[in-house]
Amino acid sequence: MQFIETQISGVKIIVPRLFLDDRGYFYESFRGDIMDINEISSSFIQDNQVGSKNKVIRGLHYQLKYPQAKLVSVSVGKVLDVAVDIRRGSPTFGDHISIILSDENHKMLFIPEGFAHGYSVLSDTAIFQYKCTNIYHKEDQYGIRWDDHELKIDWQNSNPILSQKDLNLPYLKNIKVNHLPIYEF
């Protein structure tokens, strides 16, 4: 596995080593020992899988009391995956990483705690997986509007399909300071 640092500390792109032959391919999508060596939490306790159709945007979501680090990947299709640093006091507060994850490039993205996460489906359909270091807590769900102009995210999606919940999320500047995680270095 290759681990690529991004411009935001802690967010890493992971490129697995692909073994190809005339039958297809094989790669390790997770190895706890290798993740630990590369300063990625291997204490994942929940795996999720989501199927979505073209033009769907989900997010930007986060949990505050039960924060989640995530390891995200796509097994079918293509998505634009986005992680926004929302840690109060972080030197990269409000900055984001966006990356194409697909069944062709097999890349994964590690997102540490303290980030809002979302994605846009660019293919006809997509199956998206993510490992989490904490379980989902409905009462601890927070989020930021996908189209927050100050974040300047290019979702590569001109006519998105969103849930009513995501359409009603606040802009980052309107979120109470105690509803944002604290940067710990």
Catalytic center residues: 61, 130
CA separation for the pair 123, 121 (Å, rounded): 6
Nearest to 181, CA basis, from 38, 83, 47, 72? 83
DSSP code of residue 167: H
Taking the CB of residue 105, how many other CB atoms lie within 10 A of it? 14
Phi, psi of 71 (to 5 degrees): -120, 110
Residue 144, both tokens: 């930021």
